[in-house]
Every structure is written in C-alpha cells, then in structure tokens.
Amino acid sequence: MPETIEKTPVKLNVNGKAYARNIEPRMLLVEFLREELDLTGTHVGCDTTYCGACTVLMNAAAVKSCTVFAVQADGAEILTVEGLEKDGQLHPIQKAFGDSYGLQCGYCTPGLLISTYQLLSHNKQPSEKEIRKAIAGNTCRCTGYQNIFKAIQLAAQNKTGA
C-alpha cells in the first residue's frame, strides 16, 4: 500500500484574494497556482529557474515559482499575470507589450510582464542597462528581445508602471 503524505495547511493572498488549502508539502508554488487555483497564466517552461516563464511576485519580490514550495509562501502576497488586469482591462504594461510586438508565441510573456511590473514599481524611468538586468532571468526564444526592450521603454515613457 502506498504511503499517505500528510497534508499541510497554507494560506496565501493571490492577486488580492485570500486562499486556504491543505496541500502536500512538496507541492511547488507554480503547481499550487495552476492546479489548486486554476491560474494557468504562470507557465512551466524548464523546471530549473532558467527560463523565467514561471516568475511571480512574492511579497513584491520576483521569484521563480517552479523552485519555491507552496508551503514556503504561506502567508505571502502573490501577484501573477492574471492579477495585472483590472476590471477586464489590460494593464498598461500588457498593452505596451502588444503595441510594441514584444511577444510572439507568448510562452515567456507572463514572466516578462511580472519582471517588468516589478522593475517599473521601483524605477519609473529605467535605462536600457537596468531593463536588461531586470529581465536577465527571463528567456525568450522568439523575439530577439529588441521589441521587449521597446515595450518596457514604452511602458516607462507612458508612466504606466505598477
């Protein structure tokens, strides 16, 4: 008979809503978001922190949710890509990415949007060097990054940060 794993209670505030669940201690934050809360905008790309598709904000800090256990996030404030839009309207950062063609297949986009949100929350007018540093943990295999830089610069110019 397989061994039963005892579940652990966790409470998180995700995109402004409180959630409480009993989960297996080994459940990753990305799995919690996708499987327990059905928030599938946060993608799983590499499972090794390399690609950044799973980037979310945890207590205002960008984290790769594929390497954070959900129990480590107990009591935390989490922001996912779904939390950017308000009242059915795209966040200005999302709009800037669309207007600047800063996405193609879209797989990396949620992580890039969250990294951009964090950057512009702390730096309303980042230099290109600061932009490069902020998204260094996000891999895009489609765009070549030029339009991503343009999108972030457009968001900053329009004062559309967080």
How far from each other are the two terminal CA atoms of the chain, in whole angstroms? 51
Q: Which domains does the chain have, with CATH numbers?
A: 8-82 (3.10.20.30), 92-157 (1.10.150.120)
Residue 41 is encoded by which pair of tokens? 């905008």
| Cα(80)–Cα(17) distance, integer angstroms | 12
Confidence label for 143 from pLDDT (cuts 50, 70 and 90): confident
Q: What's the CA angle centered on 77, arms 67 and 31, to 5 degrees?
A: 35
Each residue of 51-99: pLDDT tens digit?
999 999 999 999 999 999 999 999 999 999 999 999 999 999 999 999 9
3-state secondary structure of 152: helix
Each residue of 29-50: pLDDT tens digit?
999 999 999 999 999 988 888 8
